[in-house]
A = this chain, B = another copy of it.
Amino acid sequence: MTMRTLIGVMGPGEGATARDVANARELGALIAREGWVLLTGGRAAGVMDAAAQGAKEAGGLTVGILPGPDVRGASRALDIAIPTGLGSARNNVNVLASAAMVACGMGRGTASEVSLALKAGKPVVLLGLSAAGRFFQELGGDRVSTVSSAAGAVKELRKRLAP
């Protein structure tokens, strides 16, 4: 059995803050060091790109599930690019393909992915998101954790994924 554990890191593209981007890069590296595969929405923007870069720099494997029908606009730090042609319907593929999800910053697409992850019963870690945290904890209950650092996120993932 060779199946690898995929961890989804979701967050804003163009609208990411400098702090979202720094968190995502560190998170990507830490995920790679755990031996997990990083999964993102695949675009060369914001959190998606930073997480993939962090994971590659740490020697990890990176997968991107793209909304468009081809690899245009894909992050250059992806090993495996999966263009879906599904538009935002691909957000649910991101969710189902991830054993657990970290939201690193908040936007409209990210909010949909957190909601869909809770619907699918996946553990969700919110990194540095106090206002959204309150909304999603009411929505998701025990499945939602809020943390304030990339290291805290990985510690939470380890706990959630323990057999």
Assess whether B87 is in contact with A86, with CB atoms less than 8 Å apart: yes
A146 at the B interface (CB under 8 A): no
Question: Which one of A26-34, A92-100, A154-162 is at the interface?
Answer: A92-100
In the complex, what residue of chain B is closest to A99 when comparing beta carbons?
Answer: B71
Count of this chain's copies in the oligomeric assembly: 4
* Chain A residues bordering chain B, tally (CB within 8 A): 54
A6: contacting residue among B65, B80, B112, B135, CB under 8 A: B80
Check A115 against B111 for contact (C-beta < 8 Å). yes
Sort A-B residue pairs by CB-CB distance and give the 5 closest, nearest first: A85-B87, A112-B115, A111-B115, A108-B119, A135-B135
Interface residues of A (CB under 8 A from B): 1-4, 6, 37, 56, 61-63, 65, 69-71, 74, 76-93, 95-97, 106-109, 111-112, 115-116, 118-120, 131-132, 134-135, 138-140
